[in-house]
Every structure is written in structure tokens, then in C-alpha cells.
Structure 1
Amino acid sequence: MSSDDVEISTRLRPGEWTQESLDELVREYQHKIAEMGAAPNEIKTHIEHTEAGGVKVRVEWDKGL
């Protein structure tokens, strides 16, 4: 990720999310990045499930593409 890239991220604790709410959150983040001007191929989504049952979500605009 370069210094020009844009990122939206959050961490959700166990019990704070369902697969449906996670899917909706990811769509919202992707939409926000697209509204800023990112092309679909420039939007990168990273989802990491933690051992404790939480999840880390990061959606970025990779302007280097």
C-alpha cells in the first residue's frame, strides 16, 4: 500500500457480527471507496478471521494499479 492509497478498516469482536452483517459492511466499504473514484479493479478487500472469533476487515483503493 502506497502513501496515496485510501483504506477503510475495522475490527469486530466475537458476537458483534454475523456473516450477513459482515457481507453488508464489506459492500458499504467498497461502495464508499468507489464513490471516491476507485475503479472496480483498484478496490482490494481483505478479511481476516481471528482465533477468538472476531474479524478484521480492510478495504483499500490501490492507486498503484
Structure 2
Amino acid sequence: MSLYQPEPVEISTRMRPGEWTEESLAELVSTYRMRIEEMGAPAAEVATDIERNDDGSVQVIVSWTKPAIAGEEGSVPGGQPL
């Protein structure tokens, strides 16, 4: 018997002042969200946190906390029965 252990998925980065613009920040967030969605995350479950610091730096975190039960009841990822 195999137990499904949900592991959160997170992509994050920090950028110093002058290393980013509003346009590049939006593109980066979009890319991170797309990567997590490619891992199976529904768009509604992808969280984005952008922290803008007083010094002009920024921290970006895009994450997906997987649900406790994946897929259909009685199966594990990949559709294999329990």
C-alpha cells in the first residue's frame, strides 16, 4: 500500500533594486504560474505573493499546496488503485 504524501510546490526568487521592472516582474510571475500549472495545479489553487521592500528589491513566491487527496477517491497519483 502506498500513501499519497502531498508536498507543496514553490518557485521563488529575490531580485535587487534595478534588476527588475514592472513588466519583467509580471512576465516572471506568469512564467512561474505556468510552470506550476504544468505540474498539475489547477489555476485557482496557485497562490502568488509579491513582497516589495523599501530598498527597491522584490521577493516573488508562487506556490501550490496540493490537496490531501489527489485524483479520484481510492487512487493515488497516476490512477493506480490503492
2:73 corresponds in structure 1 to none
How much does 1:64 deviate? 3.4
- Given the alignment of the two structures, is residue 63 of structure 1 paired with residue 66 of structure 2, yes or no? yes
Question: Which structure ranks higher in relative contact order (CA pairs < 8 Å, sequence separation ≥ 6)?
Answer: 1
Runs of 4+ in 1 over 2 A off after TM superposition: none
TM-score scaled by structure 2?
Answer: 0.73
Size of the alignment, in residue pairs? 63
Structure with larger Rg? 2
Distance in 2, matches of 1:47 and 1:64, equals 23
- The alignment yields a C-alpha RMSD, in angstroms, of 1.4
Structure ranking higher in helix proportion: 1
Q: Which runs of 5+ in 2 are unaligned?
A: 1-5, 69-82
Letter in 2 for 1:10: T
Percent identical residues = 54
